[in-house]
Amino acid sequence: MFKTIPFQYDEELKREIDLRGYSYTTFKNYRSMLRRISDYAGKDIADVTPDEAKRFLHYMHAGLKLCPQAINVCRAAFCFFYRCVMERDLPPYALPRKKVVQKLPDILPPGRILAVFAVLPLKHRAILSLCYGSGLRISEALSVRVSDIDSENMKVFVRDGKGGAQRYSILSAYSLYTLREYFRECRPQGGFLFPKRDDPGRHLSPQFVQNRFSAAYKELFPADKDKRITIHTLRHCFATHLLDSGVDLRTIQVLLGHRSIASTCVYTQLTERHFSQLVSPLDRNGE
């Protein structure tokens, strides 16, 4: 893929992304989507019309069966490029935004998570322990530096959160032990705790870690083949298991880095403790 039509607007796109304070991840995602649109249309992205972009969005839905979130990222990429880089007018109704239906995530019991960790290589176990033990996104875990680990106060500094936001989260004793073991054995070079072997100035690819995690889980629990278990599932488990243990929603919101408490409230649908303490008005016996 991306061999037919060269993408010649890296500098312009990066400049507009930087001026608005968006993250480098946003730049990479937008560039990737723009290249896909360009290849589909068979022409330079600057020559692609909104109608051609709309046809590609429909192809993502009907042909590739991609999720609404991916389609909306592609739409946002084209709108941003068309308006901000090419400085052209684009009516808001030209490219419709696909409705996103929020589905409740699958939650794993702690025993299953630890069982998967036990069969993974040390490096992957160290990374994933941050995702579950601290509630980090995979991109956040891979961006961690040695100086971000505060073993004295048992917290980890998240320097590259969603939208460039920074925060602190808790550090588990399991993670600290695993990270120390990993550091002694691997002696990572460069600024990142988990650098690429051939380029210490960059961290590992999230997809590389995701593939190992998914393969290990499917091998251990083949009956769950229809469930969508990803590394992000560990973040959902972190929040739900904290809620099960009695931690309040506001604290969980801060640890996860959610801007709105509404994003955190979804975990009240998943916790066993929350529902077990509720009493239906039908069962109050006329109180």
Of 23, 52, 85, at which residue does a domain stop?
85
State what percent of residues in the chain have pLDDT above 90: 67
2-15: pLDDT as tens digits:
457 789 999 999 99
Based on the domain organization, do 192 and 252 belong to the same domain? yes
Domains: count for the chain:
2
DSSP assignment of the chain equals ---SS----HHHHHHHHHHTT--HHHHHHHHHHHHHHHHHHTS-GGG--HHHHHHHHHHHHHTS---HHHHHHHHHHHHHIIIIIS-----TTSSPPPP----PPP---HHHHHHHHHHS-HHHHHHHHHHHHS---HHHHHT-BGGGEETTTTEEEE-S-GGG--EEEE--HHHHHHHHHHHHHH---SSBSSB-SS-TTSBPPHHHHHHHHHHHHHHH-GGGTTS---HHHHHHHHHHHHHHTT--HHHHHHHHT-SSHHHHHGGGGT-HHHHHT---GGGSTT-
Determine, yes or no, domain membership for 100.
Answer: no
Q: Do residues 68 and 120 both lie within one domain?
A: no
Q: How much is the pLDDT for 276? A: 72
* pLDDT given for residue 287 in this prediction: 57
Contact 28, 68 (CB under 8 A): no
On whether residue 2 sits in a domain, the answer given is no
Domain final residue pick, 50, 85, 120: 85
Task: Give per-residue pLDDT as tens, 175-200.
Answer: 999 999 999 999 988 788 998 888 88
Q: Which domain holds residue 270?
A: 110-275
My answer on whether 74 and 168 are in the same domain is no
Are 122 and 80 within one domain? no
**119 and 26, same domain (yes or no):** no
Question: Quick check: is 285 in a domain?
Answer: no
**Model pLDDT, residue 3:** 55
90 inside domain: no
Q: Which of 69, 85, 101 is the last residue of a domain?
A: 85
Query: Which residues are designated catalytic?
Result: 137, 162, 232, 235, 258, 267
User: Do 117 and 229 have their domain in common?
Assistant: yes
Instruction: Give the predicted TM-score (pTM) of the model.
Output: 0.79
201, 154: one domain: yes
Q: What confidence score (pLDDT) does residue 1 get?
A: 46
Is residue 237 situated within a structural domain? yes
Whether residues 126 and 265 share a domain: the answer is yes
In a domain, 47, yes or no: yes
The CATH code of the domain that includes 27 is 1.10.150
In this structure, the answer to whether residues 50 and 147 fall within a common structural domain is: no
CA distance 138 to 109: 20
**Can you list the residues of the chain whose pLDDT is less than 70?**
1-3, 274, 285-287
Closest-CA residue to 116 (of 222, 268, 33, 219):
219
Q: Do 151 and 232 share a domain, yes or no?
A: yes
One domain for residues 22 and 121: no
In this structure, are 220 and 138 located in the same domain? yes
Instruction: Let me know if residue 104 belongs to a domain.
Output: no
User: Would 96 be classed as within a structural domain?
Assistant: no
